[in-house]
Structure 1
């Protein structure tokens, strides 16, 4: 694996951490030139040897800093790619990292806004409320008297992250080249991670997400979204309304206040399905640290860096899949999976069908109060990995969000039942399917698409006919083996060649016999007789070959 020497120092640090936690074999496989040989391949300590693979990976990400912490957090959402043991460890990754100087934070604020902290805020708490991998959080009060939260991005974080992303892309390419049979598209994962992380580096993106969520819940009494102060928000600075409440993770204090934890969990479920079904836009990280409980019957989301988007077509397919599961219609499920290109061409469909039937029947008659949505989805993703089914990122993100939501609800109420999620899904399913406005819109879209196809059809036909007229139509067949066709062409060529030789010999011999000088030279007569004899042999061979081909056909 070749390296970019501008990142040489970072490569050495990564190699050192990998060796420390017993991943030296990766260094050997990748053959990182100019780095590995300078770091001794020591054995890890006994403490590290006793760690699980998931814990080792988590520790590696923690030591390598912000980029890898974020990578671990995003990978912890990909239950379709990794085993649950690793997922559980990566889910423990938190953004609590070393603080940076508040003076530096104030300098960044001035550079971004052209205003000093004292010009914007009546009061600014110099002690950070939290230090995250991307930025640092402060409490402040605006000149207008509103309490706000101020997020300021870490210095030079963009350069560090871009350097790490470059290294990850090189590593993904090298690993894929070393192992062609690897089932995971590492390059695609890193590309998706890069997109997510670059967005998080721009606080304007988070601000826009928050504004969208505020619009979604503007009339809700159950969910409150803090206001964003756009006049003080830039790529590296975000100022938002401060939420007064209790973090959802502090379940003991919530119970002490006498608030209904079961109802709070139900609000979380209802809010998710409202986001998904009504807007196709949802909060993709509803863990307890990102939600505040503001009263007995209301919650507030506070972080909008990770969002999920699901289009109407994918949502419609999801609805049809749910209905097919209820009907135990395995063939319909497989058809829907093919429709979204989730099944590869080399998948054993019969084996897939058999295993899917068993999976559905295993869970079908289990009472909802005994079911864990997380357990079902994790089993489903293991099933997908086994059969090389690649789910669209939209559905994978939604599944992870539901798993996180169920875990959050169970923290609030250990007796939380999956029936609550099931009931909300059914409710929104029928609202979505039977909504007259939706039916009208779907019919309108179908008519418009049909009309568009009818309009474009004559033009397409003209193009095809023009290409045929110019003899520009080509049939391109790649990687198709046709041994029977090759054999047939070979046989025809052989028979044609023999026939031509036979005809030439007969015509030549006949011309010699008809020659007036045949009686004057004995050798001319011998040549004519030899020609006829060879023609006789070739004729016999042609007959044998013809009869043999007819026999093969039978």
Structure 2
């Protein structure tokens, strides 16, 4: 994250503050030591009927597409954020104004390296869809005559993202440093992760890779597919795929039997992706799925995808079994295997919280709680109790919840457990097969023997470093995140102080020389020097008192 520069954000920062105040976050801004002049004469809405999480979602939507995208990325971290907040952030959808084609066309021309007429026989300048990062157009290729979808990144999007993420980063650092009850969420770390994810989504070649990986791994599923990618026309800011005619699940009416079959087909596809291949679409909400006229399902927008290893899939099967058996002890044991570190936890407290969660959600299925919702809440309990799991588990829970919600739009009686059970049974059979057991025991034993063989060599290397006086021990001192900002502020004040001193000395010398022109009987240059020194001095005093306050 870049350090916050108020001058470069002099227009956007007041706008963001005004929107946050409008949605009832004035108390938060006061705790962050926001300059008072930004909080004056602002309109306050009556939002007491909304929860804090609903106000966060509304504020993100009003703050613009980058904040919407940031919120969508945060919704994939249920292990770090409360489940009600994650559920609200999941509702964020891209509803943004379209850019005129004249504005976005230069991006396409630069990406293609030639005129549109040299590639496309037809190109409709009116976008069929607009998102926070890009817009989609319909076109026809000259080479094959095939209809294609052309996704073009918005003009100046990098500059917009840089400005907004700088402000978001500043808010995150202030919240982490000043509000103790929010410190466990580690917002600066979340912002850094979101920036990294955003950079990945800004490179459309990643989306093309994800779609092609899905196609390669799902050749057996004839009724589920992803659009073909035209790799020779795809670049960092331009994506060309085949055009797919279809309707979103919430925009189509099907016969009950057909709807039930399509819903089951979508659920089976997601579990085949998760359990069968380990590579899955991380955001299969209705806007990212199309149902074709021949009742096939097309997954589009592969900007978010997850990848889990075979061992992670085994942990997933164990976790499903523990939840359905309502065994809190087993849930904790599996969670510790899923953890990426060996931090000590309060098992008694965690067991009480998991037991309460399992008792709260006594039924799953069409009439009960969604399995994905339980997964999100469970991940938050793990995170808040010191069990840090791979972010891919969070993407997995979100994917299951999304497909569960989408399937129930088509079939209100859709039961994710019935769909998942055959895949989990097959996974368990594979897990305890002879070849799998051999792979899980023989190879680790061989690795352990190799490691034991290297012990004398490693010991000799350490002793050699001690003998050569080259042994180093590195310490990392936490809690110094704001030291750079403090040093910069101190150096700025010191510089201004030196300037003031120089002005005072120079002005005193000029006053005694009698150099014209005069002002009130004294040399004007000396008088101006004293005035400037006085103003700078007053500025330093006021800024110091404000910082102390």
User: What's the TM-score, normalizing by structure 2?
Assistant: 0.77
Q: Is the 8 A contact 1:269 1:420 kept in 2?
A: no
Q: Is the 8 A contact 1:96 1:130 kept in 2?
A: no
**1:238 aligns to what SS in structure 2?**
strand
After superposition, the Cα gap between the structure-2 partners of 1:353 and 1:107, relative to the gap in structure 1 and judged at 3 Å, is closer
How far is 1:42 from its partner? 3.4
Match of 2:164 in 1: 164
State the 1:186 CA deviation. 0.8
Could you tell me how far 1:183 is from its partner in structure 2? 1.8
Please tell me whether the aligned partners of residues 199 and 205 of structure 1 are also in contact (alpha carbons under 8 angstroms): yes
Aligned residue number for residue 23 of structure 1 = 25
Structure-1 separation of matches of 2:160 and 2:318: 45
Moved more, 211-220 or 368-377: 368-377
Counterpart of 1:293?
A: 291
Written as runs of structure 1 = structure 2, the 5 A alignment for 1:292-441 is: 292-295=290-293, 297-325=295-323, 330-341=328-339, 347-357=345-355, 359-360=357-358, 366=363, 370-372=367-369, 373-381=371-379, 383-384=381-382, 387=385, 389-435=387-433, 437-441=435-439
CA contact (8 A) 2:376 2:394 kept: no
- Does residue 246 (structure 1) correspond to residue 247 (structure 2)? The answer is yes
Which structure exhibits the higher relative contact order, with contacts defined as CA atoms closer than 8 Å and separated by 6 or more residues? 2
8 Å CA contact retained: 1:330, 1:356: yes
Q: Is the 1:3–1:32 contact (alpha carbons within 8 Å) kept by the matching residues of 2?
A: no
Q: 1:103 to 1:474 in 2, by over 3 A?
A: closer
| Matching residue of 2:8 | 6
Superposition map of 1:440-451 within 5 A:
440-443=438-441, 445-451=443-449
| CA distance in 2: counterparts of 1:98 and 1:341, whole angstroms | 42
- Aligned counterpart, 2:103: 104
Q: Quick check: 2:111–2:235 contact (8 Å CA) kept in 1?
A: yes
Rg larger for: 1
Contact 1:264–1:296 under 8 Å retained in 2:
no
The alpha-carbon deviation at position 358 of structure 1 amounts to 5.2
Change in 2 beyond 3 A, CA 1:386/1:170: closer
- What's 2:499 paired with? none
Kindly indicate whether the alpha-carbon contact (under 8 Å) linking 1:18 and 1:24 is maintained by their aligned counterparts in 2: yes
- Give CA-to-partner distance per residue, 1:150-190, whole Å, 9 cap, x none: 11111100111022222222221121111345221212211
Following superposition, the deviation at residue 475 of structure 1 comes to 11
C-alpha contact (below 8 Å) 2:376/2:398 kept by paired residues: no
Give the match for residue 545 of structure 2: none
In structure 1, C-alpha distance between the alignment counterparts of 2:359 and 2:58, rounded to whole Å: 40
Cα pair 2:78 2:394 within 8 Å, conserved? yes
For residues 333-359 of structure 1, the C-alpha deviation after alignment (integer angstroms, 9 at most, x for no partner) is: 434433444788574322323443455
Could you tell which deviates more after superposition, 296-305 or 208-217? 296-305
Whether the 8 Å contact between 1:224 and 1:301 is mirrored in structure 2 is yes
Q: By how many angstroms is 1:65 displaced? A: 1.4
Partner of 1:175 in structure 2? 175
Taking a change above 3 Å as real, the CA distance of residues 65 and 360 of structure 1, as seen in their structure-2 partners, is: closer
Q: Could you tell me whether the CA contact under 8 Å between 1:2 and 1:32 is conserved in 2?
A: no
Q: Distance in 2 between matches of 1:458 and 1:319?
A: 40
Q: How many residues align?
A: 472
Q: Distance in 2 between matches of 1:477 and 1:115?
A: 54
> 1:212 is matched with which residue?
213
Q: Secondary structure at the match of 1:254?
A: coil
Gaps of 5+ in 1: 480-554
Helix, strand or coil for the counterpart of 2:413? coil
Q: C-alpha distance in 2, partners of 1:336/1:183?
A: 23
Offset, 1:142: 0.7
Residue pair 1:79, 1:87 contacting (<8 A) in 2 also: yes
Moved more, 401-410 or 12-21: 12-21
Cα distance in 2 for residues equivalent to 1:473 and 1:150: 57
For 1:90 and 1:190, locate their aligned partners in 2 and report how far apart those are by CA, in whole Å.
15
Q: Helix, strand or coil for the counterpart of 1:246?
A: coil
Residue 462 of structure 1 and its aligned partner are, at CA, apart by 2.8
Which residue matches 2:153?
A: 153
CA drift at 1:249: 2.0
Query: How far did 1:326 drift?
Result: 6.0
Partner secondary structure for residue 195 of structure 1? helix
- What is the distance in 1 between the residues matched to 2:447 and 2:52? 52
Alpha carbons of structure 1 residues 470 and 84: separation in structure 2 relative to 1, 3 Å: closer
Cα distance in 1, alignment partners of residues 88 and 364 from structure 2: 30
- Return the offset for 1:75: 2.6
Looking at structure 1, the residues matched to 320 and 211 of structure 2 have their Cα atoms a distance apart, in angstroms, of 30
Contact 1:265 1:412 in 2 (8 A): yes
CA gap of 1:205–1:343, structure 2 versus 1, over 3 A, is: closer
Shift of 1:360: 4.6
Give the superposition deviation at 1:137.
0.8
Q: CA RMSD in A?
A: 3.2
For residues 436 and 123 of structure 1, do their structure 2 counterparts lie closer, same or farther at Cα, with a shift above 3 Å needed? farther
Write the distance in 2 (CA, Å) between the matches of 1:88 and 1:349.
27
1:46-57 alignment, distance < 5 Å: 46=46, 48-57=47-56
Look up the match of 2:66.
Answer: 67
- Structure 1 residues 43, 384: closer, same or farther in 2, change over 3 A? farther
| Corresponding residue of 2:224 | 223
Tell me if the contact between 1:223 and 1:271 (Cα under 8 Å) persists in the aligned partners. yes
Structure 2, unpaired ranges of 5+? 478-549
* Aligned 8 A contact 1:272 1:282 in 2: yes
Q: Deviations over 1:180-236 (max 9, x none)?
A: 452212122111111111111111111111111111123321211111111111111
Give the equivalent residue in structure 2 for 1:193.
194
> 1:115 and 1:65, CA in 2 relative to 1: closer, same or farther beyond 3 A?
same
Between the aligned partners of 1:343 and 1:333, the Cα distance in structure 2 is 17
Report the alpha carbon displacement of residue 429 of structure 1 after superposing the two structures with TM: 2.4
Indicate the SS of the match to 2:239. Answer: strand
| Contact 2:4 2:166 (8 Å CA) reproduced | no
Distance in 2 (CA, whole Å) between partners of 1:100 and 1:474 is: 55
